Amino acid sequence: MPAPRVRFAPAPTGYLHVGSARSALFNWLYARSTGGTFVLRIEDTNAELAKPEFYAAITDPLEWLGIDWDEGPYYQSERTQLYLDAIDRLLASGQAYHCDCSREAIDERNRAAKRSGYDGFCRDRGIDAGADTVVRFRTPDDGQTLVADLVRGDVLFENAELEDFVIRRSNGSPVFLVANAVDDADMGITHAVRGEDLLNTTPKVLLLWRALELGPEPTYAHLPLLVGADRKKLSKRKDSVALSDFRDEGFLPEAMVNYLALLGWSTGDDQEILSVDELIARFDLADVNKAPAFFDMTKLEHINGLYLRALTPSEFAARAMPYVTAADVPWAAADFDPARFEAFVPLIQEKVSKLSEVPGAVDFLFVADPPFDDASWEKVMVKGPQPAELLDGAAEVLADCEWSTDAVKDAVFAMGEGLGVNKSKTQAPVRVALTGRTVGPPLFDAIANHFTREETLRRIARARAAL
RNA sequence: GCCCCGUUCGUCUAGUGGCCUAGGACGCCACCCUCUCAAGGUGGUAACACGGGUUCAAAUCCCGUACGGGGUACCA
């Protein structure tokens, strides 16, 4: 059996949809696991989609995910003549015909006849091409077309249910069905792996394929759709669907790939965290599910957190760098200190599930007077026990204790104990004074290793004054 | 409406006639750990859509119903 040749054939829409990314991934995994070839083909048969600025919106996210292609990208807009020639052949053999029916006329006849679709009105009128004519494919009136699907098994379509669909628009451009058949044949595609939303178009492509005598047909595999909270196909309006948004939010590409692979596919055992190499080794189209899968952001974040924590601190710092040097960061760019940030990373690495959370976790390092969070202040400085005594006590013991994590910790806790306050309540005012919040990194490690005695005392005094 | 696909815990899934008193993961709850929050550990909650068959035996096979989704363009 020859090595498989698969393709990812997106229509350029200005961004890469996560569902499309999943299709691309499954194709790519199949190619990589079988020693096959992965072809990238841009389906821009519609002139509105044939815009160069849309192409990078597809290739950039693919590259980010680590999905590389062996051939292409091929652009259907550059191969139009091939499709037009195919249509001419169908015309010449009588398998296609010109039609000048307007949408209104078709609808009117359908209303009268209580049916739908195109009624074949122009089938035998023998009209010539004109300004407003389209070319329609003459579908068989009887018989069935079988789609042998690797995921769904045999799917049978009654040819009589298929209307004589348009294959060339009145503006002269071919529709994707023709391009699809011609290109899959021309590029030697052996497996067409795509979303289930295309299942209904498959018999049309197959009919064209046979009418054009294009040779051996590809095997199909229709993947279950990705759905949103409403169980409907993920849509740009309601859901977060652009892959670039996930990158901007701070999801790691390897986590994204891992999660995407788990949507509609599983290993068969209990392993869920898989490297790309493991995915390649274990992936099989035969193990793909049939039912739609909900895109669960919570689980994605969990998996991303696992990958984030598995990074070495310096890797983490490097990958977080774009987020702490972005324009909307809560400190003045000049106050940012990369070395200080990197040193601090181990204290916050296990607390974030997305890189976009990093700036908010280290802001007090680069803001001299971090704002006091209202809820935190209320909880600790208003309703908490003896805030003034605790701050004064902390200032006193920190003024001359040894500057190490344990020494600082012991000194502060001993001071709190003397006031009859437990550890949790003792550290709270100091934490708020230093960071502005009740939630944050291990406090005494942060103080002893990342702040000077002077700065620590200054912040405590600042909070004390604000009481 | 018509055509096509689907249906195991809230979610992603394991399960291919007996191993299922249905397993794992996320979430959630409790406890442990603990200077906060996380992380981690332990335990718990929770599902075979329904009805008929077939069979000694059905989550697994067949039929029907219900529900959900996709398609039904001169988008792809």
- What would the DSSP string read from start to end of A265-330? B--SSS-----HHHHHHH--GGGB-SS-EE--HHHHHHHHHHHHHHS-HHHHHHHHHHHHSSTT-S
Q: What is the pTM of this model?
A: 0.94
Report the residue count for chain A. 467
Q: Which two tokens stand for residue A200?
A: 């209904």
* CA–CA distance, A61 with A18 (Å, rounded to integer): 10
Nearest to A243 by CA among A24, A7, A73: A24
Q: For residues A355 and A308, is the Cβ–Cβ distance under 8 A? A: yes
Nearest-CA residue relative to C1' of B37: A439
A146 CB less than 7 Å from any atom of strand B: no
A236 among known catalytic residues: yes
- Listed in sequence order, the residues at least 6 apart from A115 whose beta carbon sits closer than 8 Å to its beta carbon are none
Q: What is the pLDDT of residue A1?
A: 64
ipTM for the whole predicted complex goes beyond 0.90: yes
* CA–CA distance, A198 with A155 (Å, rounded to integer): 13
- Listed in sequence order, the residues at least 6 apart from A179 whose beta carbon sits closer than 8 Å to its beta carbon are A43, A45, A76, A79, A83
A417 CB less than 7 Å from any atom of strand B: no
Q: What is the pLDDT of residue A28?
A: 98
Q: What is the pLDDT of residue A279?
A: 97
Name the helix (H) or strand (E) containing A74: strand A71-75
Q: What is the pLDDT of residue A447?
A: 97
SS3 of residue A162 by DSSP: coil
* CA–CA distance, A427 with A192 (Å, rounded to integer): 61
Nearest to A223 by CA among A152, A146, A147: A152
Q: Which two tokens stand for residue A225?
A: 């759709």
Distance A262 CA to B13 C1' (A): 9
In this prediction, the residues of chain A whose per-residue pLDDT falls under 70 are 1
Nearest to A174 by CA among A115, A88, A100: A88
Q: What is the pLDDT of residue A168?
A: 96
Pairing of β A71-75 and β A37-42? parallel
A199 CB less than 7 Å from any atom of strand B: yes
Predicted confidence (pLDDT) per residue in A53-79, tens digit: 899 999 999 999 999 999 989 999 999
Predicted confidence (pLDDT) per residue in A355-410, tens digit: 999 999 999 999 999 999 999 999 999 999 999 999 999 999 999 999 999 999 99
Please list the alpha-helical segments (H only) found in A98-242.
103-113, 176-186, 202-211
